[in-house]
Amino acid sequence: MHSIPGRRLIMGLFLIFLMLPIYWLVNMSFKTNGEIVSTMTLWPHTPTLQHYKRIFTDESWYSGYINSLEYVVLNTIISISVALPAAYAFSRYRFLGDKHLFFWLLSNRMAPAAVYALPFFNLYSAIGLFDTPWAVALAHCIFNVPLAVWILEGFVSGVPREIDETAFLDGYSFPRFFVRILVPLIASGIGVAAFFCFMFSWVELLLARTLTSVQAKPIAAIMTRTVSAAGMDWGLLAAAGVLTIIPGALVIWFVRNYIARGFALGRV
Amino acid sequence: MDKTINQKAWFLVLPVFLVVAFSAVLPLMTVVNYSMQDTFGNNQFFWNGVGWFKELLDPSTDLGGRFLASLGRNLFFSLVILAIEVPLGIVVALSMPRQGWTVAACLVTLALPLLIPWNVVGTIWQIFGRPDIGLLGYTLNAMGLDYNYVANAVDAWVTVIVMDVWHWTSLVALLCYAGLKSIPEAYYQAAQIDGASRWAVFKAIQLPKMNRVLLIAVLLRFMDSFMIYTEPFVVTGGGPGNSTTFVSIELVKIALGQFDLGKAAALSLVYNLIILIVCWIFYTVMTNAGVERKAQTAKKPAAEPKPAGALQPAPALKPKEGVA
């Protein structure tokens, strides 16, 4: 009753549309450059792992993945730990300027990264964090912290107030209540918020590229190096691209049941 | 839920305030500062007042012309994206399987494009669309269509739009799916008993239930497409000519390419202001919807007879089933 006619066909076609470009990337990553340029083949006729081998053995390549993961994880930890108390406050209390503060947070989630690229460059150079994972992790807070507050607020509001009150009557201090009772109760919400912080920090490039030069360069920026005097190294580019998809695909599996709710910012 | 007034809650919000203020207020002050000045390099700055803003809004100057042209392109792009992604997203959400392992499989596959770094999305489509080595470009050309996104402005536009549909339709679909999931089964049973057509079910049950999430979807998509930078930059580099240069691309060109800090800062502020206004509308509508919903639940006991009336035939059917 609640689905539409031909839904299998529609879903099938849409999934094919989604997978085709990815299939082509994966396909290309296993081909030799000679095969890519000279012929049009739907699967690699002379499959090779040379591109992957190059990425995993060349430090300038694999360090990019480590750098990216480093600032993504840092950012996720910072975002969640500052957002948790705030989400509780927004969900439970009214205080001076709460609505304005919430709107201000939200407006930062929507601010174009391009606007901040240059001032961030100046700011982080001035305080000596330029080209460290900390610079990128802090810069990404500008959109991840509001997002985390938003998602967590939705989940905290789902916890009945009576639980707080009972805990306080039982003599729990606020920090103890927070760690022992509230955090376990909204564990799935924290998971979802962490997933979204991970995701948005992982996919962002403009700020990450502007704030790093050598030491903390993210993989996405290293990928631009495949253009050389000898022309494009398409196979290597494709292999690097495939490897950036994998972390996302892995984390998505863990939150698959909450993903829809998370995208609705905990507000369905 | 009535919240208690407690000013000490500020202590809980303080860490967030500090972190975001550090990354938002300080840079914004820098931008405001730059926007009033001109520089000839060497860190020498000259006061320019509102000169850049005047130039920015005057289409006859170089800066104003570029800004307004890219703004127009960006608005057109956002509208096209919304017109395609929202209906398509709804259709996909309605096509989701109802149970079994296929649900998880579909969800994961749908979410996959959302988790690919944006420049890799660009790379994927750059490769996919190339006439010499890409499946799409090669197939189209083999079919006799002269497709080349590097040289032809229309082809570049089509590529960028299809790429965005590929990248973000899943977001709309997932949001709508979350909305659809929250509809209680009883609604459908009632509709079935009333003999409602599929279209009527969609219009009277599913669409109203998706209202809220659709609003989130439309506004997120509008704002994100309005700030789009990486994907079209990787695929077309803003070309051919300036045909796919959106506001962010223009801004980065001026700021990091030409190092015209004053102009870039003025552009940033106007750009940010537009986003802020849209964001404020979004926030107001969202909070109003929240208040309305609360009012509705508060009124529920009074409004009860109506849904109960629609559901009444269900218990009446029970004895009949027993007989059969």
> Which pLDDT score is estimated for A110?
76
CB of B100 within 8 Å of a chain A CB? The answer is no
Listed ranges A242-251, B50-59, B209-218; the one with the highest mean pLDDT:
A242-251
Residue B283's pLDDT is 74
Do A223 and B111 make contact, defined as CB atoms within 8 angstroms? no
Using one digit for the tens of pLDDT, what is the confidence trace for A4-60? 778 889 899 999 999 999 999 898 889 888 887 777 778 888 888 888 988 888 888
Instruction: Tell me: ipTM over 0.90.
Output: no
Which of A98-107, A251-260, B233-242 comes out lowest in average pLDDT? A251-260
What does the H/E/C string look like for chain B?
CCCEECCCHHHHHHHHHHHHHHHHHHHHHHHHHHHCEEECCCCCEEECCCHHHHHHCCCCCHHHHHHHHHHHHHHHHHHHHHHHHHHHHHHHHHCCCCCCHHHHHHHHHHHHHHHCCHHHHHHHHHHHHCCCCCHHHHHHHHCCCCCCCCCCHHHHHHHHHHHHHHHHHHHHHHHHHHHHHCCCHHHHHHHHHCCCCHHHHHHHHHHHHHHHHHHHHHHHHHHHHHCCCHHHHHHCCCCCCCCCCCHHHHHHHHHHHCCCHHHHHHHHHHHHHHHHHHHHHHHHHHHHHHHHHHHHHHHHHHHCHHHHHHHCHHHHHHHHHHHC
Which pLDDT belongs to residue B322?
37
Helix and strand element counts for chain A (H, E): 15, 3
pLDDT for the residue B310 = 42
- The per-residue pLDDT for A97 is 83
Do B177 and A258 contact (CB within 8 A), yes or no?
A: no
What's the confidence (pLDDT) of residue B20?
A: 86
The amino acid present at A4, given as its one-letter code, is I
3-state secondary structure A180-202: HHHHHHCHHHHHHHHHHHHHHHH
Q: Cα distance from B65 to chain A (closest Cα, Å)?
A: 19
Q: Which residues in A lie closer than 8 A to residue B136 (C-beta atoms)?
A: 20-21
- Chain-wide mean pLDDT for chain A? 84
- Sort out which chain A residues have CB atoms less than 8 A from B7's CB and list them: 95-96
Cβ proximity of A195 and A253 under 8 Å: no
Crossing angle of the two packed helices A7-29 and B153-181, in degrees rounded to 10: 130
**What's the average model confidence in pLDDT over B35-41?**
73
**Domains in chain A, start-ordered, CATH in brackets?**
1-48 (no CATH), 57-263 (1.10.3720.10)
- The pLDDT tens digits of the residues spanning A111-144 come to 778 778 878 888 888 888 888 889 999 999 988 9
- pLDDT tens sequence across B113-170: 988 888 889 888 988 888 888 888 888 888 888 888 888 888 899 999 999 999 999 9
In one-letter notation, the amino acid at residue B297 is T
The pLDDT value recorded for residue A13 is 92
Closest Cα in chain B, distance from residue A160 (Å): 10
Q: Does domain B74-291 have CATH number 1.10.3720.10?
A: yes
The 10s digit of each residue's pLDDT in A210-260 is 888 878 888 877 877 666 555 678 888 888 889 888 888 888 877 777 766
- pLDDT of amino acid B314: 42
Average pLDDT for A59-65: 85
In order, the DSSP letters of A73-91 are: HHHHHHHHHHHHHHHHHHH
Q: A151-208 pLDDT, tens per residue?
A: 888 888 888 888 988 999 999 998 899 889 999 988 888 888 888 888 889 888 888 8
Q: What is the pLDDT of residue B78?
A: 92
Contact A268 B256 (CB under 8 A): no
| Per-residue pLDDT at A15 | 92
Whether residue B13 contacts residue A90, with contact meaning beta carbons closer than 8 Å, is answered with yes
A217 in B contact zone (CB under 8 Å): no
Give the model's pLDDT for residue B295: 66
Res B299: pLDDT:
56
